[in-house]
Structure 1
Amino acid sequence: MQISDLRIALFSGNYNYVRDGANQALNRLVGWLLDNKAQVRIYSPTVGSPAFEATGDLISVPSFAIPGRPEYRATTFLPPRVKKDLNAFAPNIVHISSPDSAGHSAVRWAKRHDVALIASVHTRFETYPRYYNMAFLEPLLEAYLRRLYRRCDAIVAPSDSMAQVLREQRMSYDVGIWSRGVDRTIFSPQARDIDWRRGLGLANDVPVIGFLGRLVMEKGLDVFSDSIDRMVRRQIAHQVLIVGEGPARDWFESRLPNAVFAGFQGGADLGRAVASMDVFFNPSITETFGNVTLEAMACGLPVVAARATGSESLVEHGVTGNLVRPGATVEFADALQTYCADPALRALHGAAGVRRSEKYSWDRINRGLAETYIRLIRQRQAGKGGVPYRAIR
């Protein structure tokens, strides 16, 4: 079986209506598959003005705005028109990338039609409640996810550390890696632009601590702010550059009144913004990989990050950055202070990050996932599909 024989039905909870690392990775995957003559059909919620143009054939599934987070949409069910389209497409593998209602419906369809089934895990949904004072829901969410993923033939995670978490949570007997790549034409130390930086009011000789990501509480904005507060109280010379947009921007601006908020940046502008920082700070524990961390490393920045899934697989402590216990604002401030005070150390760890980032090639990564598709299809054809739910302990 060749890649050109693949017929993939991809179910996504957010393929392109809000921009984030997960859906950009999915669009890049689809583009790669189409370039290699595979056939792909995408099923996802849609909106009138999406964040970016979708790659491939996108079929809209019913959805509604999530209360309190209206920029995101929750799917409901697969109506007859979508099921008819799915039947006509006749995929030989179904890929679900979101544990929503449409994902559950896709699993049922695949089981009913004896079609190979894979799930990709893009974020640690079970950790989200702790950012909204509802940590008691985490065990319930974990059980919900386990019920879904155990019905799949395999699941893939974007990092070794996340794959290990999934094994420990008993999500599947077959856990593989679908990592992430970095566009080195955009993210490079050469993209640094002192004039652009100066235009934002950032001094040449003061270290700039940067944040990149969607401005939502689950990205650890509270920990970031508290750590910067400690830097201020210690009177450590620094400035802060925030790149990104999101519903928590007003809150974040109120917590960091002296920070520079550059808003959304894309393409070459994004590469310039990241390369113009001096230290990258990522306190989030929800990422399963951390695209932004890899992009910062490719730009030659040392990284201070939470010792959590994703970051643990990317950042080598004491070599390309510092890993800190999640939520430990004193330790985060200590690491940031060290980098702010030592430009030679920043340069040393930044250069090591560039070298490490070079192994993340999109072509190799997406080819590996296509080979996993082919393996699962062959197993299904041989009558060796996924282990039954009751067989996993």
Structure 2
Amino acid sequence: MVSLLARLPRRGGGDGPGPLSPVWLAVAAAVAVSVTGLVGLGLAVVVVSTLDPSGGLTVGGSTALAGRLWLLAQGGEIDADSGPIVLAPLLLTLLVAWGLSRAGRGVVRLAGTTTVREVARDTGTIGGVHVVLALLLAVVLDGPGAGVGFLRTTAGAAVLALAAVGWGTARESGVLDALLDRLPGPVRPVLRGVLAGLLTAVALCTAVVAVAVAADSAGYAALSRSLGGAGAGALGLLLLALLLLPNAAIAVLGLAAGPGFLVGSGTLVSVHGVTLGSVPALPLLAALPDTQAVPLIAFVSQAVPAVAGLVAGATVGRWFTARDGGSVVAGLAGIGAGVLLGVASGALAFVAGGSLGDGALAEVGAPAVATGIAVAAQSGIAAAVAATITRWRALG
């Protein structure tokens, strides 16, 4: 869509037809992301509802549900009768961020953006239009029984858009590389290490969720059948579970680090003990322990922060050069990578958690501050050792 608009003539003077201005390219890209995302999500919800033999939602209801999921994915707030719902389905959040990033990169390529000022212009335009569209959608969906928290919804859409688009435009234009080149030498290896460690931690925690669900597959199937809807209902529940899978993985990171995670005020899962209470009828929650005994997989998961720290430290040591320093400096950089890994983990825990009302489910997810501190302490030590040894071996 953006490339097609780029070939359209400009309105008004000039020597003849010319490409669209970068501002209009950015506007078109932002509109394309929202329209494509909402249409795709809406079609998915409509198809699942249509296949439901019990009738399911109407087309209008399915469309409204898709719109509310779109807002929640961007950090929005839905004020239901039971209280505020603030829980972003992180897989959908990642898809929205990917679309915005690709839009920014596409505009940069078509407009030939190279300077910081041009990057700021493209980022601000795409981000601004995206926020306006999200706000318009919120106004349309706002109503009794399912109101929209406009302040949080606007702020969430703005933060996501600026972060995703800014990353895409800065990377594609070369501004990001130019900025990193001005920073001290060890910064690039540290950032690479943090990214590698974070991906490792999330991947391992996702594996823990998969093992826990597989261990109680009968419970998953029974809960899915009890909710009805035959094949269409099962498909809808599976899609919802996939959207929330990253949230579950980040909750497991809180468990692995030590603080554990909450599913409302009545359910706490940690390596120190399990407290069970009533939880939503979501098949993904079949992964929760069936008794108050701490499951073996919870004890095994305690290795995740250390393993993530080892990967981060090894990455730091591997990318160190003679200009950056020797094994001692690499070890110090490893500590920094571990601390930043803790900060990133705490930020993820904050984003992945939320609330499902103002009652017993007012708090869902891992505690962000405690998770970040615990991961930083464990990963920092492991990363320092791994970075020192890796750099020492590289020096021969």
TM-score normalized with structure 1 length: 0.24
> Which structure has more RCO (C-alpha within 8 Å, separation ≥ 6)?
2
Per residue, is there more strand in 1 or in 2?
A: 1
Question: Larger C-alpha radius of gyration, 1 or 2?
Answer: 2
Per residue, is there more helix in 1 or in 2?
A: 2
